[in-house]
Amino acid sequence: MEKLHDSIYQLIVETSTNLPNDVRRAIKAAKEKENAGTRAALSLGTITENIEMADEKISPICQDTGMPTFEIKVPVGVNQIKMKKVIYAAIAEATKDAKLRPNSVDSLTGKNSGDNLGEGTPVIHFEQWEQDVIDVRLILKGGGCENKNIQYSLPAELEGLGRAGRDLDGIRKCIMHSVYQAQGQGCSAGFIGVGIGGDRTTSYSLAKEQLFRTVDDVNSNPDLQKLEDYVLENANKLGIGTMGFGGEATLLGCKVGAMNRLPASFFVSVAYNCWAYRRLGVVLNIETGEIQEWLYKDGEKVELNQTDEEVAAAAEEQDGVREVVLEAPITEEKIRELKVGDVVIINGMMHTGRDAIHHHLMDHDAPINLNGQIIYHCGPVMAKDEQGNWVVKAAGPTTSIREEPYQGDIMKKFGIRAVIGKGGMGPKTLKALEEHGGVYLNAIGGAAQYYADCIKEVKGVDLMEFGIPEAMWHLDVKGFAAIVTMDSHGNSLHADVDKSSLEKLAQFKEPVFK
């Protein structure tokens, strides 16, 4: 199959850079439902702009490649060993071409392989069938939403919902709780796949398989279809909204599958996927490996460009919001002036720092003076130009809560004044912001092209031994916008939304399916 490598490479690039039509339709519908000018509407405007930028530039929609997972159906006799080797080569090439971020890390040493290859990476599942074509489907599910996957063992006691039993209503409660617990950390508005039954492993696998269904797919099981419809309608009443800022659109799709289980076990597993729902497929010629058909690309491409009315509404809302320009080094006095809801525009320098950097800084000196500086929770996609200079190909925020054990201590130790990320942080960081004089800024998760466009120059890099995503990149930015969601006065939008959504969750405590 001489065309197989090219076909797999095309599939990888297209999946990373171009959302399928069913996802575009769901995002467009969510944007139309939001009240014009709200934080949620503005966030969805940024998201749709980012989608179009990624498509136009053929660059990653989100900087987080996630775990590439292939589901492949092959006729009897196809050499699966050779197919795996071709997929590995195509993954490595796409990574070298900055269409994927190097994301495969040795769990024991922490070393990044640099090419997205390693033990267990990528994930490839083969299944034989009796058709005379090869069906290859790929999903790129990022780490932020992967961390919000959750599994329940029934019966269980659920916060806000009480007891969930071993029945359809108990399953309903688990799914509603799964949306609540994700908050904005999984880059809502999102999609969920649900697996009922099986053992712990197969239940999770079934949940992820549901994400390969189209958003408008109708479940063949009428009870499960009713459950899907119920969850999709009522999860959006929780008020979590886009990025957890509050709003009408929290969930854009819900798909449920079920399998038999052991008498002693009753698992309900939920695979959460962010709005950057990167899932595509191809049908290949069995002889040549050439693409015969693209999957998930039905009809004309759904255009998501903002209308004149949306631009005007956003401009009008901005007129009523306090906008503050920050440029490092920032004084404590300047930080104390900021309050939740303020829009911050950053010019000048910021420095990336993710998990490895925060762990390192707890016991080591920083490679640069961080006093008064801004840390960006970001693992960018990087490439070198013809002159050998680093350029940023994608640079959206990563989920910040992972740094909760470190963030407050590091801010105090080095004098850092501002932290940018997504999804907010917890009480330890909030207390440190108040004591030290710091602020947390929420950028739009997944908007990797939108923010990469704000980065004008890479001034340098330190700690490259941690790999490209985890290194400390020194970035010169202009017009980098984010929202204050945790301030130095003890206020947290994330805590407020969590509290209000938990109160709303309680209204779904009573049985629905009997």
Q: Is 164 helix (H, G, I), strand (E, B) or coil?
A: strand
As a whole number of angstroms, the distance between CA 93 and CA 491 comes to 46
Residue 361 has pLDDT above 90, yes or no: yes
How large is the average pLDDT for residues 44-58? 94
Please state, in angstroms and as integers, the Cα–Cα distance from residue 256 to each residue in 158, 176, 211, 227, 280, following that order: 20, 13, 9, 8, 19
pLDDT score of 35: 79
Q: What is the 3-class SS of 82-107, one letter each residue? A: HHHHHHHHHHHHHHHCCCCCCCCECC
**Which residue's entry shows tokens 């929609």?**
61
pLDDT score of 302: 82
User: In this predicted model, what pLDDT tens digit does every residue of 95-107 receive, in sequence order?
Assistant: 999 999 999 999 9
Residue 310 has pLDDT above 80, yes or no: no
Which stretch of 161-170, 292-301, 495-504 has the lowest confidence by average pLDDT?
292-301
Q: Is 43 helix (H, G, I), strand (E, B) or coil?
A: helix
Residue 313 has pLDDT above 90, yes or no: no
As a whole number of angstroms, the distance between CA 165 and CA 447 comes to 39
Phi, psi for 129 (deg, rounded to 5): -145, 175
Residues in the chain, how many? Answer: 514
pLDDT score of 299: 75
Does residue 44 contact residue 302 with C-beta atoms inside 8 Å?
Answer: no
pLDDT score of 322: 84
pLDDT score of 312: 57
The residues with which 457 forms a beta bridge, in sequence order, are 476
| pLDDT band of 54, cuts 50, 70, 90 | very high
| pLDDT band of 315, cuts 50, 70, 90 | low
| pLDDT band of 311, cuts 50, 70, 90 | low
As a whole number of angstroms, the distance between CA 72 and CA 125 comes to 6
Residue-range domains of the chain with CATH: 1-139+297-318 (no CATH), 143-273 (no CATH), 321-493 (3.20.130.10)
- One DSSP character per residue, 388-421 reads S-EEEEE-PPPBGGGGTTTHHHHHHHHT--EEEE
Buried b / exposed e across 280-297, counting CB within 10 Å, b at 16+? Answer: bbbbbbbeebebeeebbb
Computed over every residue of the chain, the mean pLDDT equals 95
How large is the average pLDDT for residues 473-493? 97
How large is the average pLDDT for residues 388-406? 96
Strand positions, DSSP E, 156-309: 156-158, 162-164, 190-196, 251-258, 267-273, 278-285, 291-295
Beta-strand relationship, 381-384 and 472-486: unpaired
Residue 266 has pLDDT above 80, yes or no: yes
As a whole number of angstroms, the distance between CA 377 and CA 463 comes to 15
As a whole number of angstroms, the distance between CA 192 and CA 401 comes to 21
pLDDT score of 298: 84
Phi, psi for 426 (deg, rounded to 5): -100, -170
As a whole number of angstroms, the distance between CA 183 and CA 145 comes to 11
The percent helix, strand, coil of the chain (3-state, each to 5) is 35, 25, 40
| pLDDT band of 305, cuts 50, 70, 90 | confident
How large is the average pLDDT for residues 51-77? 96
pTM above 0.75, yes or no: yes
70, 80, 81, 72: which is closest to 123 by C-alpha? Answer: 70
| pLDDT band of 42, cuts 50, 70, 90 | confident
User: In this predicted model, what pLDDT tens digit does every residue of 166-186 receive, in sequence order?
Assistant: 999 999 999 999 999 999 898
Cα dihedral 164, 168, 171, 176 sign = negative
Percentage of residues in the chain having pLDDT higher than 90: 92
Does residue 468 contact residue 111 with C-beta atoms inside 8 Å?
Answer: no
pLDDT score of 33: 84
